[in-house]
Amino acid sequence: MGRAAGGYDSIFNAARAMGRIKDKVYRPIPENAATAATCDKLFQKYRTLHDSFGRGGNDVMKRLKVLKKSILKRG
C-alpha cells in the first residue's frame, strides 16, 4: 500500500492532500432567477441526503456497509 500503490504514506499525508478548504464560493447570477431557484431546490435535496446518510435519521449507510462487508467476505 502507500505511495507505491498509488496511495499515501500516512493518514496525515492523505488528509492534507484531500482535505484542503478552498476560499472560492460559487453564487448564482441574480438575473438568472430560474437558475437560482434550481440551485435552491438542489441544495435542499443535498441537505436531505446529507442528513439521511450522516445524521442517523436513516440507517441506510450502516446497511450498505453491512452488505458490502458480507459481499467482500464471500470473495
Extents of the domains making up the chain: 2-74
Give the helix/strand (H/E) hosting 16.
helix 11-18
Please compute the mean of the pLDDT values over residues 23-42 and round it to a whole number: 81
pLDDT given at position 37: 82
AA letter at 33: A
Q: What's 6's DSSP letter?
A: T
Q: List C-alpha distances in Å: 69 to 15, 53, 55, 56, 73.
A: 24, 18, 21, 20, 6
pLDDT given at position 18: 86
Please compute the mean of the pLDDT values over residues 41-48 and round it to a whole number: 88
The answer to whether residue 25 scores a pLDDT higher than 70 is yes
Under the banding of pLDDT at 50, 70 and 90, the label for residue 56 is: low
